[in-house]
């Protein structure tokens, strides 16, 4: 097999990457390859596959919906699946309004634009935006600007607007000096907030793409306190962390945060269809209702509120709400196996949150470009497990439906792969 002459793969350097594996199908946690192999999808296909692949109730809901109404322009029209989904997500998030888009990046763009314009509609010129070091919010321009600068954004640097950047006091098992680092971060936030601030955006509890970096809920509550005192808006980017990943339905709930805006995607449709949702408080929504046409939120995507996506999301929510123990109790499944792994001399800075477990390999630089990740990926593939480490950060983020023996197989593959490292 060789690279296809007409495809361009995401985040892939063809000069060094292995050729893509051809997949014919997927069931549950298993990817079925053309060459007959079966691989455990231990990262939920870029964190989207929530329950498992080809989950029958979601597939059936999409099929039923496709025969009723597959798509309709969402300006001038509304429909049942969108209304039901908005009603349910409003109740679950505590944020009363749902604005639809297509993916995680657009869900963030929408949150940013709502926050920014809301202040202007109020006649306020608050300009500062605050985000954290190591943040990742997506690959479109606004989302890139909010994210920290990295090899992902370097070529576009001149086009990205400035954001005040606060340290992210991430932690792990056996951490030291954490209080000091949290205090320093809060001190810097206090200084930043002396400038009139429109909003702060945060990946609550866990930064994903920068290396599964977790903070304490108590730190985020202090951030929230300072923010609310300044009047600035809080945007929770739950694109990765939403829908049970952190052990609660939403990370903001686990951390006891009350954001003004919440960006959702990935698990929203159970991982079946691309869809983004930005939840906004009623207060923000009301700030756009005016006789003045320039107060309108002039933003819309062709596939806004796609009925198939809504049907998938409703079926996925049913599954989540029928089996809350599947996400609430997931952490306890990781911990004993992680403890075992942490005995290995090259395994450092172990952490776990809900369905997500991560550690760093003491091998070369702490960097996305550290080749040890590719080596671990290759070795685990030999044991039937698909992983995609972020440089020397190795993590598991499996679908909720993974069986105990499959999870065991993932840890077994990791044990073996690490033992093979030079
Ligand atoms: N925000 C966060 C926290 C994410 O993890 C991601 C994707 N990894 C995004 C935004 C962007 O989502 P998408 O890739 O769907 O545009």
140 and 91 belong to one structural domain: yes
Cβ atoms of residues 368 and 297 within 8 Å: no
DSSP assignment of 190-226 equals HHHTTS-EEEEEE-SSEE-TTT-EE--HHHHHHHHHH
Output the pLDDT for position 55: 98
Output the pLDDT for position 1: 59
172 and 275 belong to one structural domain: yes
Is the CB of residue 237 below 6 angstroms from any atom belonging to ligand 1? yes
DSSP 8-state code for residue 137: -
- Compute the distance from residue 404 Cα to the ligand 1 centre, in Å: 28
- Compute the distance from residue 357 Cα to the ligand 1 centre, in Å: 18
For residue 325, the SS3 value is: helix
Is the CB of residue 86 below 6 angstroms from any atom belonging to ligand 1? no
Is the CB of residue 373 below 6 angstroms from any atom belonging to ligand 1? no
Output the pLDDT for position 217: 98
Picking from 81, 90, 83, 58, the residue whose alpha carbon sits closest to that of residue 307 is 81
Output the pLDDT for position 422: 87
395 and 412 belong to one structural domain: yes
301 and 351 belong to one structural domain: no
Residue 262 CA to residue 250 CA, distance in Å, equals 10
138 and 84 belong to one structural domain: yes
Q: Which of 322, 347, 366 is a domain's end point?
A: 322
Is the CB of residue 203 below 6 angstroms from any atom belonging to ligand 1? yes
Residues of the chain with pLDDT below 50 are none
Choose the residue to mutate in 105, 143, 211, 388 for probing ligand 1, maximizing ligand atoms within 8 Å of C-beta: 105
In-domain check, residue 12: no
In-domain check, residue 135: yes
108 and 30 belong to one structural domain: no
State the residue range of the domain holding 33. Answer: 23-54+331-419
Domain containing 266 — which CATH number?
3.40.640.10
34 and 50 belong to one structural domain: yes
In-domain check, residue 227: yes
307 and 396 belong to one structural domain: no
- Compute the distance from residue 176 Cα to the ligand 1 centre, in Å: 30
Q: Whose CA is nearest to atom 15 of ligand 1?
A: 104
Is the CB of residue 104 below 6 angstroms from any atom belonging to ligand 1? yes
232 and 369 belong to one structural domain: no
- Compute the distance from residue 98 Cα to the ligand 1 centre, in Å: 18
- Compute the distance from residue 274 Cα to the ligand 1 centre, in Å: 12
At 98, phi and psi to the nearest 5? -115, 125
In-domain check, residue 1: no
Is the CB of residue 240 below 6 angstroms from any atom belonging to ligand 1? yes
Q: Model pTM greater than 0.85? A: yes
Query: Which residues make Cβ contacts (< 8 Å) with residue 156, sequence separation at least 6?
Result: 141, 144
Q: How many domains does the chain have?
A: 2
Beta bridge partners of 205: none
The H or E element containing residue 68 is helix 56-68
Query: What is the number of the ligand 1 atom nearest to the C-alpha of 274?
Result: 15
Residue 278 CA to residue 108 CA, distance in Å, equals 7
Output the pLDDT for position 363: 84
Query: What is the number of the ligand 1 atom nearest to the C-alpha of 238?
Result: 3
């Amino acid at each position: 097999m060789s690279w296809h002459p007409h495809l361009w793969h995401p985040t892939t350097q063809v000069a060094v990457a292995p050729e893509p594996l051809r997949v014919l199908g997927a069931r549950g946690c298993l990817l079925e390859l053309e060459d007959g192999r079966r691989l455990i999808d231990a990262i939920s296909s870029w964190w989207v596959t929530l329950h498992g692949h080809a989950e029958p109730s979601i597939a059936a809901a999409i099929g039923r919906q496709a025969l009723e109404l597959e798509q309709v322009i969402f300006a001038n029209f509304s429909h049942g699946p969108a209304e039901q989904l908005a009603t349910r997500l409003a109740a679950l998030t505590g944020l009363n309004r749902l604005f639809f888009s297509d993916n995680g990046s657009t869900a963030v763009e929408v949150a940013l634009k709502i926050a920014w314009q809301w202040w202007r509609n109020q006649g306020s010129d608050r300009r500062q935006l605050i985000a954290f070091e190591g943040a990742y919010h997506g690959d479109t321009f606004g989302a890139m600007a909010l994210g920290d600068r990295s090899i992902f954004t370097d070529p576009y640097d001149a086009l990205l607007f400035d954001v005040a950047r606060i340290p992210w006091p991430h932690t792990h098992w056996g951490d030291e000096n954490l209080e000091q680092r949290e205090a320093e971060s809060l001190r810097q936030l206090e200084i930043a907030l002396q400038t009139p601030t429109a909003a702060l955006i945060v990946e609550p509890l866990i930064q994903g793409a920068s290396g599964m970096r977790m903070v304490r809920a108590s730190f985020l509550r202090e951030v929230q306190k300072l923010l609310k005192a300044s009047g600035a808006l809080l945007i929770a980017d739950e694109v990765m962390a939403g829908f049970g990943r952190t052990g609660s339905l939403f990370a903001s709930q686990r951390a006891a945060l009350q954001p003004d805006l919440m960006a959702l995607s990935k698990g929203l449709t159970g991982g079946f269809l691309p869809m983004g949702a930005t939840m906004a408080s009623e207060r923000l929504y009301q700030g756009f209702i005016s006789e003045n046409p320039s107060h309108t939120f002039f933003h819309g995507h062709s596939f806004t509120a796609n009925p198939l996506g809504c049907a998938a999301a409703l079926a996925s929510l049913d599954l989540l709400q029928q089996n809350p123990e599947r996400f609430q109790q997931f952490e306890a499944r990781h911990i004993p196996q992680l403890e075992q792994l942490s005995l290995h001399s090259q395994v450092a800075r172990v952490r776990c949150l809900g369905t997500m477990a991560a550690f760093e390999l003491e091998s070369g630089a702490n960097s996305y470009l550290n080749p040890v990740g590719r080596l671990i990926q290759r070795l685990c593939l030999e044991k039937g497990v698909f992983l995609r480490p972020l440089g020397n950060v190795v993590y598991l983020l499996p679908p909720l439906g993974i069986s105990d023996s499959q999870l065991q197989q993932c840890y077994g593959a990791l044990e073996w792969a690490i033992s093979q490292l030079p």
